A = this chain, B = another copy of it.
Amino acid sequence: MLSIDAVRKEFPLLAERTIDDARVVYLDSGNTSQKPRRVIDAMTEFMETTYAPINRSSYRLAGEATDAYEGGRKAVARLINAPSADEVIFTKNASEALNLVAMAWGRTNLSAGDVVVLTEMEHHANIVPWQMLAQERGIEIRWIGLTDDGQLDLSNLDELLDGAKVLAFTAMSNVLGTLPPTQLLCSAAHAVGALAVVDACQYVPHNVTDVQAWDADLVAFSSHKMCGPTGIGMLWGKMELLDAMPPFLGGGNMIDTVTFEGFTTAPVPAKFEAGTPPIVEAVGLTAAVEFLEELGMANVRQHEMALTRYALDTLNERFGDDITIYGPDNVEVRGGVFSFAFRDLHPHDVSQVLDETNVCVRAGHHCAKPLMKTLGVQSTTRASVYLYNDEADIDALADGLEGATDIFGL
């Protein structure tokens, strides 16, 4: 198990920052995570001692920098059990990775009438790129619906997948916490010859990830949600797919040669990394992966399962009918993301009142407006936990909620 006191000491903002003389109770990690000391230090030290261009210059300093950057690829490959580090492409965030898939793979392989299947609990990042493609070339989008407890309704999966070319789905909902059966969905997609695209933004930071066990085709995720820096995201893909895809952005580094007449592309991963990449960020990400590996992702998951159980029980016991928590109750099929409605209060006001005791949660549609429609709400309040949260944080959330009605007197 994790020792949260020890873990939290590694996060300067959580250990030292105060607002109104009190510590910050950070419950917004589904949005973005805090950064441990060693990630900050790795970036600092790299900029102080080793910063140089990568892949372009041949002096020793540039060699050191190139090795450090490529080290990030290896670390990420290890974390998700990718067969080869060359299959890891660095993007600016997960959204770029998903756009890359929709644009580079989609433009090549999809035409009018082709079917892409999504789920009703996708993040906008896994919806809008496909809708842009739909605008451009008239593909059809079908949606996997939800059961009452916020799981995917797979009863008509065969029907939805019939004739589909792509199944793109989240491995964990950023609103409901739901963990869909990733392996099953990948194999269902393959059974009809469809591509299996996984949005693993919320999954990789919190679980043991094995892209080979999933047998996924393309997997997108973000550094900033897994203790790493902003400015870097990842697309992992099967080499033969990446190889066959045209480039996405054009420019330096992604070319084999350029003449006045045209260009040819470099091998993967360079083919998808136009321009100067996030060099310092890859170094910070390496430190983040090493941090996660030392804690052990199985331990992280175990800790969060226990905390999720505690949170669901605490909130339901203390607030009964005054609170509606969306998503499954079974912690085996959900992660530590709690979206809820509280009395008649608007989520913005709930979040504002919680902020008064430094409890940081998100209020809004969480970039999942179609899901809000399915839930029949305009927005929710969302608390989300990570490896540095403990029961005291959940208690602080509950205490904050306790005071909320006093103010509004509704």
**How far is the CB of A258 from the nearest CB of chain B, in Å?**
4
- Taking the complex as formed, is A172 at the interface, i.e. its CB lies under 8 A from any CB of chain B? no
Asked if A231 and B278 make an inter-chain contact with CB atoms under 8 angstroms apart, the answer reads: yes
Please give, as numbers and ranges, the residues of chain B lying within 8 Å of A359 by CB-CB distance. Answer: 59
**How far is the CB of A157 from the nearest CB of chain B, in Å?**
18
**How far is the CB of A21 from the nearest CB of chain B, in Å?**
14
Please give, as numbers and ranges, the residues of chain B lying within 8 Å of A262 by CB-CB distance. Answer: 131, 134-135
Interface string of A29-45 (1 = CB under 8 A from B): 00110110001100110
Tell me which of B56, B62, B281 contacts A231 (CB under 8 A): B281
Asked if A274 and B49 make an inter-chain contact with CB atoms under 8 angstroms apart, the answer reads: no
Interface string of A212-226 (1 = CB under 8 A from B): 000000000010100
Asked if A28 and B52 make an inter-chain contact with CB atoms under 8 angstroms apart, the answer reads: yes
- Taking the complex as formed, is A406 at the interface, i.e. its CB lies under 8 A from any CB of chain B? no
Tell me which of B19, B44, B53, B124 contacts A60 (CB under 8 A): B19
Interface string of A88-114 (1 = CB under 8 A from B): 000111111011001000000000000
The segment from A300-308, A324-332, A337-345, A362-370 that touches chain B is A362-370
Asked if B57 and A363 make an inter-chain contact with CB atoms under 8 angstroms apart, the answer reads: yes
**How far is the CB of A82 from the nearest CB of chain B, in Å?**
22
- Taking the complex as formed, is A205 at the interface, i.e. its CB lies under 8 A from any CB of chain B? no
Asked if B275 and A94 make an inter-chain contact with CB atoms under 8 angstroms apart, the answer reads: yes
- Taking the complex as formed, is A195 at the interface, i.e. its CB lies under 8 A from any CB of chain B? no
Tell me which of B13, B40, B51, B259 contacts A370 (CB under 8 A): B259
- Taking the complex as formed, is A164 at the interface, i.e. its CB lies under 8 A from any CB of chain B? no
Asked if A361 and B57 make an inter-chain contact with CB atoms under 8 angstroms apart, the answer reads: yes
Please give, as numbers and ranges, the residues of chain B lying within 8 Å of A143 by CB-CB distance. Answer: 260
Tell me which of B53, B95, B229, B253 contacts A28 (CB under 8 A): B53
Please give, as numbers and ranges, the residues of chain B lying within 8 Å of A258 by CB-CB distance. Answer: 124, 127-128, 131, 369-370
Which residue of chain B has the shortest Cβ distance to A17 in the bound complex?
B49
Asked if A128 and B274 make an inter-chain contact with CB atoms under 8 angstroms apart, the answer reads: yes
- Interface positions, chain A 246-260, Cβ under 8 Å from B, are 247, 249-255, 257-260
Asked if B16 and A48 make an inter-chain contact with CB atoms under 8 angstroms apart, the answer reads: yes
Q: In the complex where A125-B251, A230-B278, A260-B143 touch, is A51 in contact with B13 (Cβ < 8 A)?
A: yes
Please give, as numbers and ranges, the residues of chain B lying within 8 Å of A251 by CB-CB distance. Answer: 95, 98-99, 123-125, 128-129, 367
**How far is the CB of A223 from the nearest CB of chain B, in Å?**
10
- Taking the complex as formed, is A61 at the interface, i.e. its CB lies under 8 A from any CB of chain B? yes
Which residue of chain B has the shortest Cβ distance to A273 in the bound complex?
B95
- Taking the complex as formed, is A161 at the interface, i.e. its CB lies under 8 A from any CB of chain B? no
- Taking the complex as formed, is A352 at the interface, i.e. its CB lies under 8 A from any CB of chain B? yes
Please give, as numbers and ranges, the residues of chain B lying within 8 Å of A134 by CB-CB distance. Answer: 262
Tell me which of B40, B51, B355, B367 contacts A34 (CB under 8 A): B51
Q: In the complex where A230-B279, A275-B93 touch, is A48 in contact with B132 (Cβ < 8 A)?
A: no
Q: Looking at A34, A57, A94, which has the most chain B CB atoms within 10 Å of its CB? A: A57
- Taking the complex as formed, is A9 at the interface, i.e. its CB lies under 8 A from any CB of chain B? no
Asked if A250 and B96 make an inter-chain contact with CB atoms under 8 angstroms apart, the answer reads: no
Asked if A360 and B40 make an inter-chain contact with CB atoms under 8 angstroms apart, the answer reads: no
Q: Can you list 30 A-B contacts with CB-CB less than 8 angstroms, sorted by A residue number?
A: A12-B48, A13-B48, A13-B49, A17-B48, A26-B61, A28-B57, A31-B57, A58-B351, A59-B352, A59-B359, A62-B360, A92-B96, A92-B275, A93-B276, A93-B277, A96-B274, A102-B250, A123-B251, A124-B250, A124-B252, A124-B263, A125-B250, A125-B251, A125-B252, A128-B254, A128-B263, A131-B263, A229-B280, A230-B279, A258-B369
In the A-B complex, the 10 residue pairs with the closest CB atoms: A95-B275, A231-B231, A128-B250, A92-B92, A252-B367, A95-B251, A125-B251, A59-B355, A12-B48, A231-B278
